[in-house]
């Protein structure tokens, strides 16, 4: 039994790309089938050309496949990588994630193990905040977050980030220490092994169908319909009651008028 893992990332100058390759290497070492995919670039060529390292990396990785939502549907487990942008994921990765709404609505992202990794220029440049921001997405998906935690010496050697492997690139932009790449490989192995255990457990228990959010929508729609029907029925009853009351009042008025005429005639 093997698992399928999608490693989806954005990298401008190459640090996150190196982490993604290391994580994919670690996952493959367990026997997992891995798709390494970069998300589409949103910046203009003019903007990229202003940074020689950005241009070099863009040209060097032009052959890496572009991620699609189909890659997420294919995968048994997922890993997402991004540089930090003011403590949040890069716009390029966020734009890709925003395209997954349809798959999420079908329940296609629920119960899938997922992990994340990142890099920043400075040690306190927002790495942890970026990983926690991505976790908010995974909560909404109903995915199973698989952090490295403090579960292996490789995590400590890389600086000790239990949320996910995080690189500090420094002034040159490529100051990746071997320990950080080792931590990424460990994170890939951990993700693959967790996915394999989850898959084996689901096979033993018969598995549980993923919850599709649109089922709630259908339930709410049915509730709204019933509530509307109840309201209409109540309105009909009240209208009928009002009509009967009006008829009684008119009948009473007619009777009183007839009695008055009769008394005058007498």
Amino acid 1: pLDDT: 74
* Sole residue written with tokens 């997954």: 100
Q: What is the spatial distance between Cα 165 and Cα 118, in angstroms, rounded to a whole number?
A: 6
Average pLDDT over residues 121-125: 90
| Model confidence pLDDT, tens digit, residues 154-172 | 999 999 999 999 999 876 5
pLDDT band for position 206 (cuts 50, 70, 90): confident
* Sole residue written with tokens 């970026």: 130
| Model confidence pLDDT, tens digit, residues 26-56 | 999 999 999 999 999 999 999 999 999 999 9
Q: Which of 137, 161, 159, 140 is nearest to 149 (CA)?
A: 161
C-alpha distances (whole Å) from 178 to each of 24, 114, 124, 184, 248 are 16, 24, 20, 10, 93
Amino acid 264: pLDDT: 35
H helix runs in the chain, sequence order: 15-28, 45-49, 52-60, 69-74, 91-98, 101-105, 127-141, 153-157, 178-205, 213-265
Q: What is the spatial distance between Cα 215 and Cα 211, in angstroms, rounded to a whole number?
A: 8
pLDDT band for position 86 (cuts 50, 70, 90): very high
Helix H or strand E encompassing 14: none
C-alpha distances (whole Å) from 3 to each of 38, 72, 190 are 20, 13, 12
pLDDT band for position 266 (cuts 50, 70, 90): very low
> What kind of fold does domain 4-205 have according to CATH?
Rossmann fold (3.40.50)
Q: What is the spatial distance between Cα 156 and Cα 32, in angstroms, rounded to a whole number?
A: 25
Q: Is the pLDDT assigned to residue 17 strictly greater than 90? A: yes
Q: What is the spatial distance between Cα 114 and Cα 79, in angstroms, rounded to a whole number?
A: 6
Q: Is the pLDDT assigned to residue 265 strictly greater than 80? A: no
Strand-pair category, 77-85 with 4-9: parallel
Q: Which of 10, 15, 20, 11 is nearest to 170 (CA)?
A: 15
Q: What is the spatial distance between Cα 81 and Cα 251, in angstroms, rounded to a whole number?
A: 81
Least confident of 14-18, 174-178, 202-206: 174-178
How many CB atoms lie under 10 A from the CB of residue 67?
23
Handedness of CA 23, 29, 31, 35 (dihedral sign): positive
Q: What is the spatial distance between Cα 47 and Cα 163, in angstroms, rounded to a whole number?
A: 32
pLDDT band for position 123 (cuts 50, 70, 90): confident
């Amino acid at each position: 039994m093997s698992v399928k893992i999608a490693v989806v990332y954005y990298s401008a100058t190459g640090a996150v790309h190196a982490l993604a390759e290391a994580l994919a290497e670690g996952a493959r070492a367990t026997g997992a089938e891995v798709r390494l995919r970069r998300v589409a670039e949103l910046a203009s060529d003019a903007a990229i050309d202003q940074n020689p390292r950005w241009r070099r990396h863009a040209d060097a990785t032009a052959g890496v496949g572009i991620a699609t939502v189909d890659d997420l549907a294919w995968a048994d487990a997922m890993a997402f990588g991004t540089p930090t942008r003011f403590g949040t994921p890069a716009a390029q990765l966020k734009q890709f994630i925003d395209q997954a709404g349809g798959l999420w609505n079908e329940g296609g992202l629920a119960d899938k193990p997922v992990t994340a990794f990142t890099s920043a220029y400075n040690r306190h440049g927002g790495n942890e905040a970026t990983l926690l921001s991505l976790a908010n997405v995974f909560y909404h998906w109903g995915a199973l977050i698989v952090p490295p935690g403090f579960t292996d010496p490789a995590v400590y050697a890389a600086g000790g980030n239990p949320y996910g492997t995080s690189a500090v690139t420094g002034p040159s932009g490529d100051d990746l220490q071997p320990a950080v790449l080792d931590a990424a490989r460990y994170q890939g192995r951990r993700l693959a092994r967790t996915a394999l255990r989850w898959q084996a457990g689901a096979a033993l228990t018969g598995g549980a169908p993923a919850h599709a959010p649109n089922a709630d929508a259908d339930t709410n729609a049915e509730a709204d319909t019933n509530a509307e029907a109840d309201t209409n029925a109540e309105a009909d009853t009240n209208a009928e009651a009002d009509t009967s009351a009006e008829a009684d009042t008119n009948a009473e008025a007619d009777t009183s008028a007839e009695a008055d005429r009769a008394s005058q005639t007498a």
